[in-house]
Structure 1
Amino acid sequence: MSSPAAGVVLSRSRLVFWYAVFAAISIGANLGSQSLAFHLYQGAYAVPISVCVGTGVGLVVKYLLDKAWIFRYEHRSVAHGVRTFALYVAMGLGTTLVFWVVEFGADALFHDETARLAGGALGLVIGYVTKYHLDKRFVFA
């Protein structure tokens, strides 16, 4: 199956623009699903559970956007697609750790959902800049 943007090469400035737009969409999906999960469940471990929900949602959204529009990557088979996604996840482990440290740090310092989500947004921006370079070199090479 062909990527929605197959054959189109983005200039550096357009690449940066669209990567930032897709990062913003993914951050919104992550933080929005975190907030929803946190408001739906406020029992034991509500914050870590909501962060895991948001991380999963944001990961899938970002992968689909990056694969199709940033890297214009096509899978050769289902198995190849699964391996590519697994490598994408593996490259994201370190950047996810950065995101979580910043988010949980803001939560520990301020004990406030808004501060925690702002910390999450900052951590995600730092992580996405790093992740682009990892993905370009190792995942979608």
Structure 2
Amino acid sequence: MFASTKLTINYAIFALIAMAANIGAQHLVIQCYSGSFDIMASIIVGTGVGLVVKYVLDKRYIFQFHPRNAIHDMRTFLLYTAMGGVTTLVFWAFEFGFQHVFQTSAMRYLGGVLGLTIGYLAKYHLDKHYVFRLDPA
């Protein structure tokens, strides 16, 4: 199997794992909290959970990145998070858009999955070029 094919398959699998963590966390929040900000709270919590899961998987298995120390790892995570800002807006636009149009949790989650898929495709290239690059310092 070509290295790029294996990388693509692994990236897709890890994206699915992070999506499941995100949507699962959202569902858990909705089950535990039914206040006026339930959807917003669930999306924020899900985004955070998905972000951490995806960072750990990408860092270790996609980019084989080994931080020099905890400070370097924290800086890398912050850059990873910053690069995810735009892609998170895409994800949220889809999820909130589907919620607004269809008014069901199933369609909101579908919008989230579509937004995450588009975002992850863009995020790979951002991470490859800006986050997990070899830096001499």
- SS of equivalent to 1:68: helix
Please, which runs of 5 or more residues in structure 2 have no aligned partner?
Answer: none
**Hey, what does 1:130 align to over in structure 2?**
122
Letter in 1 for 2:10: W
| 1:1-141 correspondence to structure 2 within 5 Å | 11-141=3-133
Q: Which runs of 4+ in 1 moved over 6 A?
A: none
With normalisation by structure 1, the TM-score equals 0.92
Letter in 1 for 2:30: F
| Count of residues in correspondence between the two structures | 132
Letter in 2 for 1:139: V
Letter in 1 for 2:59: K
Q: State the alpha-carbon separation in 1 of the partners of residues 71 and 50 from structure 2.
A: 23
Please, which runs of 5 or more residues in structure 1 have no aligned partner?
Answer: 1-9
- CA drift at 1:78: 1.1
Q: Indicate the percent of aligned positions where both proteins have the same amino acid.
A: 51
Q: State the alpha-carbon separation in 1 of the partners of residues 92 and 79 from structure 2.
A: 20
Letter in 1 for 2:28: L
